Amino acid sequence: MRFFNKLSIVGVLLLAASPAISANPSDQKSSASMRLDPVALVAAVVKVNPGLTASDSLARAAKAKVGSAGSLPDPVLMWGIAPNTVGEQEIGARQQIQISQRFPWPGTLNLENRVAHSKAEVADLDYADMRLRLVETARSTYAAWFYVHRALDINTQERTIVKRLREVAEAKYASGDTPEQDVLSAEVELARIEDENLQLESRRSQVQAKINALLNRAPTAPVAPPAPLPPSNPLPLETVLEAGALARHPALQSLEARLKEASDRIGVARKSGYPSFNVFAGYNGAMDPASKRLVIGVGISIPLYRGKYDSDVTAASNLRDAAAASLQDARSELMAKLISVRASVEQAASSVALYKTRIIPLAVQNMAAAESDYRSGSGDFTKLIEAEKSHLLARLNLARNQADYFTRLAELDYQSGGALLPMAANKENLHEQP
């Protein structure tokens, strides 16, 4: 069954074709069904990541121990024989049998059970926190996957533009209207774009390996190209994010459970310094007459050496204080991180809007004007190449800010306890062009 589950995941993620995005819009449309979206990646990572599986097993083990916590110790059965009576025909071998049960001080078992429940809760919450972090990592890696593919696509398109400009320069050079330097400048720009392409291909391989590591697969296993990133949405108010994070973040809840466990351990340490009781019943065949042979009784421990018990209580109290301080520190750090990350999300969203509404249109106009001037003979080819570089940089910065927005949003989602990017998202929304 696990084999078929893995096959279903591979079916979502693998492509038969090359993982590079085609520059042909019709090819992109025909391959849209084979694209990887963030929801599919997150679902697959959560399902097969071995680290998360290990954490889940630890949580299950902690839960299993709850059943034995707070139980009475096993009763003790004792048997003995008087060896000198063995073989005596008149009285027979005299034997003794006794069963006893120890009872801790009242309330001890209940406290031990509460400690075990707290440990199981900690293990569960640690799993939830690890899962939330893994989701953040998967989404951030997806953003990098989106950017590198978008950058490669832009690189290909810019190469086509520069080749066209080189043809214009070659035509003007052939007619004697411009110097050979214009053609050489175009060649230099083409070489630079080719070098950027090599760097992007290397980066693509690195991100591909990271995705495969999250999926517990071979580093070079093919991964489908990304679908467009989801559009940005208004963020909740800071007060709403803070209240939600304090109430539901699994890392904080885990520390709260550890504090509860540490507090109960103080009670266990204190009660260990109280007497325990031992109830027993037995039959002593060595006693005469027969009416004396049945024995019942009770024993009690005498905790005389108070130093060791007091030390245990002091140690438990210090651990409780440490747990309380850790919880307070984590709350403060989380609130500071939450505000910082929220600001970075807003900044990335504003940058995306600025590039889409002003910088990109201006870069397009600037390049068009520079090309028009050059074709008419009133412009300079150096200015045209600079305009092309500005156009390229603007498009790359837009893609980078889009990826950065999604990365920061994934981080904010983690800091808020998983309130912003639910696992089950609207697929149509995910495929809208940002």
Ordered per-residue pLDDT tens for the chain, 434 residues: 333 344 333 343 433 233 332 333 333 343 445 889 899 999 999 999 999 999 999 999 999 999 888 899 999 999 988 787 776 766 667 888 999 999 999 999 999 999 999 999 999 999 999 999 999 999 999 999 999 999 999 999 999 999 998 998 898 888 888 888 989 998 999 999 999 999 999 999 999 999 999 999 999 999 999 998 887 788 888 899 999 999 999 999 999 999 999 999 999 999 999 999 999 999 888 777 877 889 999 999 988 888 889 999 999 999 999 999 999 999 999 999 999 999 999 999 999 999 999 999 999 999 999 999 988 888 888 999 999 999 999 999 999 999 999 999 999 999 999 877 754 333 333 223 33
Mapped to the 3 state alphabet, what secondary structure does the chain carry? CHHHHHHHHHHHHCCCCCCCCCCCHHHHHHCHHHCECHHHHHHHHHHHCHHHHHHHHHHHHHHHHHCCCCCCCCCEEEEEECHHHCCCCCCCCCEEEEEEEEECCCCHHHHHHHHHHHHHHHHHHHHHHHHHHHHHHHHHHHHHHHHHHHHHHHHHHHHHHHHHHHHHHHHHHHCCCCCHHHHHHHHHHHHHHHHHHHHHHHHHHHHHHHHHHHCCCCCCCCCCCECCCCCCCCCCCHHHHHHHHHHHCHHHHHHHHHHHHHHHHHHHHHHCCCCCEEEEEEEECCCCCHHHCEEEEEEECCCCCHHHHHHHHHHHHHHHHHHHHHHHHHHHHHHHHHHHHHHHHHHHHHHHHHHHHHHHHHHHHHHHHHHHHHHHCCCCHHHHHHHHHHHHHHHHHHHHHHHHHHHHHHHHHHHCCCCCCCCCCCHHHHCCCC
Residue ranges per structural domain of the chain: 28-71+118-273+308-430
Assign domain 28-71+118-273+308-430 one CATH number from 1.20.1600.10, 2.40.10.340, 3.20.20.100, 3.40.50.720: 1.20.1600.10
